[in-house]
Amino acid sequence: MIDSNSDSDSTPDLDKVWVVIPAAGMGKRMQSDVPKQYLKINGKTILEHTLNCFLFHPTVSGIIVTLNSDDIYWKTIKLDTTRGKPVYTVEGGIERSDSVMQGLDYLLMVEQLSEDNWVMVHDAARPCLTKEDIDALLSLRSNTTVGGILGCPVKDTMKRSIPSNNTISSTEPRENLWHAMTPQLFRLGHLHQAIKYCSEKGIVITDEASALEATGKQVKLVEGSATNLKITKQSDFELASLLLSGPTRKTQSIITTRDDC
């Protein structure tokens, strides 16, 4: 464990949900000297905006943030401590799945949560998440024992390319294809066991759902808003800046009602 950023204790409660936010990545595609999660929008870092999505949600019990061992920026983060929710940090791993596993281990061994507790995993660089999308995902708890993810059905024509020269190899049918998003919601024990299984078997996983899929579990899809974008490139940063600006709720409304994702 690196540190704690809360003065409050938290009592495990099966009706509450914890959040793990892997933030150990360096975001090299942004071509910035500062990791993308620490770039600022409207005076707050992207990570602060992301954390606030959960600090202000009544069902969230606490947050685990996994950090790079060389992280020098976390100490500058300012949290809304009036919410009385603990925000703990642990050292992340080489891969995203390693970092998530570190967070899950903390919840099981330090917080001593039950394996039946629900946990959400969310990208550090998705700061535009809405309460409505969180609520829609959390509603799965009443009708599934496995869990699910936020996603968006593919609307555009999908092309497969030839990597060597970036020409089109074929057109792929878009029916039943979804863009995977976060948060992703699962039982703590199920997710922990699934990631461990994939690690032992050498199975590459790109998100938490793919770990559950590898163990034969059926993961639900919940349609979320197209505004829940992941900041990867400069154009994403610029759009997120618009969405997170108070006077631009009209912009968010326009983007939400577009027939694409």
Other CB atoms closer than 10 Å to residue 153's CB: what's the count?
14
pTM for the structure as a whole: 0.88
DSSP E strands in 106-166: the ranges are: 118-121, 147-153, 158-162
Nearest alpha-carbon partner for 178 in 207, 141, 211: 207
pLDDT tens-place string over residues 205-257: 999 999 999 999 999 999 999 999 999 999 999 999 999 986 544 434 434 43
Tokens found for residue 76:
């500058």
- pLDDT score at 80: 82
Classified as helix, coil or strand, 140 is helix
Domains of the chain: 3-256 (3.90.550.10)
User: Would strands 60-67 and 87-91 be described as parallel, antiparallel, or unpaired?
Assistant: parallel
Q: Which of 5-14, 19-28, 73-82, 135-144 has the lowest mean pLDDT?
A: 5-14
Are the CB atoms for 107 and 18 separated by under 8 Å? yes
pLDDT tens-place string over residues 25-76: 875 666 568 899 999 999 999 999 999 999 999 999 999 999 999 999 999 9
Tokens found for residue 185:
């919601």
- Helix 249-256 × helix 234-243 angle, to 10°: 120
pLDDT value at 96 more than 80? yes
Mean pLDDT of all residues belonging to the chain: 88
- Please list the residues that pair with 219 across neighbouring strands: none
pLDDT confidence tier of residue 8, bands split at 50, 70 and 90: very low
Are the CB atoms for 151 and 239 separated by under 8 Å? no
pLDDT confidence tier of residue 15, bands split at 50, 70 and 90: confident
Distances 194 to 189, 205, 207, 261 between C-alpha atoms, Å: 8, 10, 11, 29
Tokens found for residue 234:
């400069």
- pLDDT score at 16: 80
- pLDDT score at 5: 54
- pLDDT score at 30: 60
Are the CB atoms for 187 and 208 separated by under 8 Å? no
Q: How do the residues of the chain divide into helix, strand and coil, expressed in percent and rounded to 5?
A: 35, 25, 40
Mean pLDDT computed over 114-121: 96
